[in-house]
Amino acid sequence: MALLEIRKDEEAILRKTSKEVKVFDERLKTLAEDMIETMHEAQGVGLAAVQVGRLRRLITVDLYDEMGPKVFVNPELYDMEGQILDYEACLSVTDTQAPVFRPEKLRLKAQDLNGAQIELEAEGLFARVLCHEVDHLNGILFTDKAEDESLMEEDK
Ligand code: NI
């Protein structure tokens, strides 16, 4: 296991589109393990491979609950329902928090580290983190979608 360098702010790689994972080998497993370690060290709830300089469609998520850390390869989101506005931050965006609308509920289709299909339903924070990380795979940062902070005040 190794800690990886998290790419930040204006680094051009963060704006690139990640490529589908086609080879499920030991290198992929090592990358996923290193990403989980890096995410934990940075106290993040999610990390996309592009954030550690690998343009692969691979994300890790850990909500620090009973489910433990999760890895999703080639994730796709669908059947989004509802909208919730809440604050987000990102390990690749220094000192910024802003409210972003995300679906209340969605379904995820992905593969595990062996290439087996995964399908699950996510809601609340889990759905939010999945949206945030899948956006990274498409070169999108949460700040692109952030609402004006005054909107958040009106909600309270
Ligand atoms: Ni992020």
Q: What is the pLDDT of residues 70-109, one digit of tens each?
A: 999 999 999 999 999 999 999 999 999 999 999 999 999 9
Place of tokens 């790419």: 7
Q: Where are the beta strands (DSSP E) in 32-104?
A: 46-48, 58-61, 70-81, 84-90, 93-102
Domain borders along the chain are 12-154
Residue type at 79?
D
β-strand partners of 93: 90
CATH topology for 12-154?
Answer: Peptide Deformylase (3.90.45)
Which residue among 10, 66, 121, 133 is the active-site one? 133
- Which residue in 76, 72, 69, 73 sits closest to 38, CA to CA? 69
Enter the pTM of the model: 0.94
From residue 104, give the alpha-carbon distance in Å to each of 25, 71, 83, 86, 118.
34, 21, 5, 11, 20
CB 103 within 8 A of CB 131: yes
Tokens found for residue 105: 């509920």
Q: How much is the pLDDT for 1?
A: 79
Q: How much is the pLDDT for 151?
A: 58
From residue 49, give the alpha-carbon distance in Å to each of 55, 121, 123, 150.
6, 22, 23, 33
Q: How much is the pLDDT for 104?
A: 98
CA distance linking residue 117 with residue 103, whole number of Å: 23
Distance 112 CA to ligand 1 centre (A): 21
Q: How much is the pLDDT for 148?
A: 77
Q: How much is the pLDDT for 36?
A: 98
Distance 46 CA to ligand 1 centre (A): 7
Distance 135 CA to ligand 1 centre (A): 8
Distance 141 CA to ligand 1 centre (A): 7
What is the full per-residue pLDDT of the chain (156 aa) written as tens digits?
799 999 999 999 999 999 999 999 999 999 999 999 999 999 999 999 999 999 999 999 999 999 999 999 999 999 999 999 999 999 999 999 999 999 999 999 999 999 999 999 999 999 999 999 999 999 999 999 998 765 555 554
Q: How much is the pLDDT for 154?
A: 55
Annotated catalytic, 133? yes
Q: How much is the pLDDT for 152?
A: 56
Tokens found for residue 42: 């940075």
